[in-house]
Structures are given as structure tokens and as C-alpha cells.
Structure 1
Amino acid sequence: MQKDSQAEQRWHILVSRQASGSAPFFYAVTSTGIVCRPGCPSRLPRQENVRFFDHCEDAMKAGYRPCKRCRPLGSSHPHNGMVLTVCRLIEEDPAQARLSTLASACGYSPSHLQKTFTQKIGISPLEYAKGVRQLRAYRELGQGSSVTESLYAAGYQSASQFYTEFKEFSSLPAGSHRLAGRGEVITFAAAETSLGVLLIAASATGLCWISLGEDFAQQVQELQAHFANAQFCPPDPDFVDWLSQVVGFLDSPCEPLDLPLDIRGTLFQRQVWEALRSIPPGMTMDYQALAERIGKPTAARAVARACASNVLAVVIPCHRILRKDGGLSGYRWGVQRKAQLLEREQLRRTKEGSSKEND
């Protein structure tokens, strides 16, 4: 891992208790579920419990709640106070996060609150409540609590609500999160690429993890957290060849990757991911169009959540999804990498088109 990596620089800023300066960022703490700005007076978290985000809103979409001490949303915008109030009410009791109740507490009409909150955060109050429950459920299950204990501690009103929502964001049954890969053998390896550090992992079935980032250690932590009780082993020569093929695929993403995949997801997630894989390299689509492609035109937000749950970077090409206005929107492995992947695919597509015309 390079000492000047972005994640390492950001960690040093946290340790020094400085503000983020010219390159602002936010950090979320997985053990508390809170997102803060650098310089927050709260106790310094353990490095393995920290996730970095470019924007506070991105952390909130993942279910983290804004810190009460450092106020990462700020207070200059007139709507930020309302957003903070709604977040507090939802965090206090996500099971009772009714739009009418929230609107009454903030002095807004339900429709105005819904529109304003969604514009500011990118998700509705109901979806934020769902994210809070999801994050708490993960934490409870990860601590070894039973499914029943976890669902009520997370704020679910019933087991049916828990299992319905759990299928939307998890590729595994709820009970398996307590096992977290127990009995599985996961092989993994990493390499430096033109897009940063590439980490791949495979089960006995095929590739089950592909990630890109700046910090190798942080990527390994995320992989091990996902398969917390699995047995990890070093790569053999055959697996090193797999790694080389994935590296080559990053450089030429228009070429097919002929490797077995272990795609774990719900039926809905698999529908979304298969639709993503059907988008030709060099082409893009928005969430609404993708929802229509799978025959669920009203499920654009659920489609977005399925894209965010993808753990197989590039192979399941969620980078080919743009906002309706053509903007890049978010990307699990960094918006800059998304732009680079799209540029490479478009360039390759243009070259292939020119070659065919010359023939």
C-alpha cells in the first residue's frame, strides 16, 4: 500500500484532528453508524471501522446518520435544519417514520418535505429509514445476535417487514450473516492497475468479489467483513492467471471476460445485474430505463439499490448507469474511475466503428 494513497492521507488528517482543507471529505464509523466531518471533537474511531465518503449525502444513502456534534450537513442552507430534524426523528424511531408525522414536526406539508428531503439527500425519508434499519440489522447480526433479536433492535415492526427489506439489500439469507461465509474457502489476490488497486476473490464456484480502490488494506477489510467467518487462502498459479485476466479486462473492457462467476443475489438483484450485463460496452442507460428493461417501470429506486449492492466491479457494469440528465451520479468504487471506464469503452467503440468503416 502506498503511503500517499487517498485513504491513508485522509486517515492522517483524522488522527491530526485537522479540517479536510482543499479536498473535503467525510468519514463514517461502522461501529456507531454515524458520519462526521474531519475535525469532529468526538473520540477517534479505530481505523478498521472507518469508511470515507466524498459527500455526506453518500454516507447517508448508505444508512449512516449525521453527527450531532460536528453537523456534517452544515447549517448554511435553509433546508439543512429540516433535513437534520427528519434524520433525528427517523433515527429515534425508524419504525414510526411516517411522512405525515415528520412533516408536522418540521412545519412542512408532506409533499414539500418529501420533495425537499429527496432533492437534498437523494433518497426519500422512507428510504432513509430503511437504510437506518438495514445498517443496524447488519451490525446486530455481525455481533452474533439472533435474527429475531436483530430485527427488533434495528427498528423493524415485524419479521415479515424485516425479511422483505432484507432481500432488497442483501445477497444472502439473513441467518447467513451470522455465519458470514463459515465453511467457505475464499482465495484472493491484488494487483496495482491503471485504475488503482484491484482486489479479486473467488469461492469454489467462481469470482465472488472484484473491487477497486486506493487502499489495499481497507479493501481486504471490506472483503473479510463480507465473508467474516470464511477461510482465506493465498493465490495459486491458476488464480494469479485469473488476476491477470481481470487486469487485462480493465484495460480493454470491451473484450469478454471468460471466467466463472459466483453471483449471489436475490431474484430481483439478479434481474438487474443481468440487465446491466446486457448493456453493450460504450453505451449507457439511466435507472428508469433499466427498470423498464426488466419490466418493472416503477422500481427505479429499487434498481438503484441493486446497483449499489453489486460487489463485482466492471464484470457487472453498473458504471454504465448515468443519471437521467447524463450526470455520472455515484459509483461504489469512485466516480473518477467510473468516468475513466466509460471513456475507455467509448474510445474502443469509436475505434471499432472506424475500423469497420475502413473495411
Structure 2
Amino acid sequence: MLDDTTKYEIFRNRDETYSGQFYMGVRSTGIFCRPGCPARTPKAENCLFFQNAEGALKAGYRPCKRCHPMNMPGEASALIKKLINLVESDPERRWSEKDLLANGVDPSTARRQFKSRFGMTFSAYVRQCNLAKARQCLAQGDSVIEAQLCAGFDSPSGFRVAFAKTFGQSPKDVKISPLLIDWIDTPLGTMVTICDEQEVYLAEFTVRKNLQGQLEKLTTAYKRPILPGRNDITMLVETQIKSYFHGSLKSFDLPIKTTGTDFQNGVWQALCDIPYGQTRSYAQLATAIGNDKAFRAVASSNARNGLAIIIPCHRVINKGGALGGYAGGLDKKRWLLDHEARVSKSSNRAAAP
């Protein structure tokens, strides 16, 4: 019988030989993983172990999207893989037998295979995932009714009963977790980051236009206090930002949270598509999102980006080649573009035969 200390060491060593023998829930993120998961190993005090995936799900943990613990041990059937992928890709859907049939799945087969493999039916699996999502919403400051709708419950009483049965507490007793603010030293001065246990909400230079306004906007939008602190996400952000300035990282891989409109989010995604070391004009960016005449709105969205460097708005310049604007200051924009050009040139030279 493995004790928790041994199990933690197995996870820390990413030992896949124990896959399927036990699972680890991470209190700080609300996910559960299998041994061998490639994600950063959390602190031991944030870990809880389960004998099977069903226990983790019933405790309100969601399957990790990196190690896919629901597919272990062995090889899950093609049907189970298909349904898990469908649920993950469309988390807002309230799955019915009609939906399953529309996707070429026989409901009774889905029920039987999930029951055999995980000890719960497909509908029970979806319900547990939705309840875990509702708990996350409550911890992030959403109201009980918002969490209820997020979980797909029509009945408030039904939601309260299901929630209490799963988590051992009523929805109103879930404590709101704060957003954590941290600071990073860079060659261009200090950057401030705001994260929770799952996502990055803000990354900006401290010397920036309307930084205080951005902080107030976050507090208002999410109804969560902002307190100094560090967690796995803040440390991951720091590591990647420092790697960027060192020249060893060209593309960020971070879970981000944005507060923009659909248009703004489209612009920010287009910014992430600009290759490292290259630039685009505001007009070219407007064309990239399919709206040639929206270059002024594109420029406005660019200025509202709250994730400096991570969403590379510094790569957008005027059509004639002038730098244009940058909320952090044109000196920083010029430095960032020169830095990326130097790193790209060095990489190309090293790759040449």
C-alpha cells in the first residue's frame, strides 16, 4: 500500500508505470491527474489522492487536459474518447440523448461503456464536470444563480441538493478566492501580473498609461479582491517572461483570461498569430480578422490589451513603418522589436549549414 508521500514522489518523477493505480487531485486548480502527467508538479500540501477517477470526479475535480486521466489505464474505447473530447470542446452544451444521436452515438452504448469503465454513466460524468465548473464559478465571485446556470440546472433547489451532495457544502458557503498580484523584474523595468490559481488576468509594465484603471476594472468585473501573493501560475508567468527576455522563448504557453468583447478577443488572437520577430500594420491586422475598414477599431483594441508581451501588441506598427503607439512607452516597443530581431537573426545564423 503506497502512502501519500510515495505517491507524491511518483508524480514528481512523472513515473507512468503507476498510471491507473491512483489519481491526484490538485486543490489549487480543481483538476485531477494520473501519474506521468507532464504538467508542473504542484506543492504537496495542495495534493489529494484518489483510488480511482470516479472518486476524483465525485469530489468535484475535473480531468486534466494534458494527461487525460479519463483515458487511463490502457486504451479507452474510441467511443469514450470521442465523448470526452466532445464534452471538453463544448462545455456549455447540455448533453441529451438527441445530441448523442446527432453525433452518431447510441445513448445506451454510451451509458454502458462509461458505467463499465468509470463506475458512472455518461450523464453522471457530464453532471460532475458541470458541478465542478459551477464551484469554480463561485470561487471566482459569480453569484449562486450564475453558477446554477453555468452547471445547466433549471431548478435552484435541484442545484443546491446536487452541489451539497458532491461537495459537502451549500453553494453560498464557497469562499471567493482572491486574485493574486505579483511583480517581475525585467530589462525594461518592473512588470506586474495578476493571476488566480488557473489563469493569467493581467501582465503589464508598472509604468503604463491607466494601469490603475485596469486594476479597478478587474476588481469590478470579477468581484474578487486583489491581494499580494504567489502560486504555480504566477511562477509559471515569471519563468516564461524571463525566458522571453533571455531570448530562449518565442511563444508563450499560458492559460489567459481576457475581458474583451468578441471583436477585441478576435484582434488579440490575431496578434498572437504574428510570428516572432515580424511586424504587421494596423491595416494588415484588420484584414487578418476579415474587416479591412476596421483599422481604427483594431488600434483601439490593441491599446486595450492587458497582457503585454504575452499578447504581442508591440508587433503592430504604422503602415509607413513608424512605430505607432504603445501604452508602455515607445522606448519599450522599440526595445522589444529590436530584441526579437536580434534573437531571430541569431537563431537563423545558428541554423544555417
Report the TM-score when normalising by structure 1: 0.45
Q: Which has the larger radius of gyration?
A: 2
Higher relative contact order (CA 8 A, sep 6+): 1
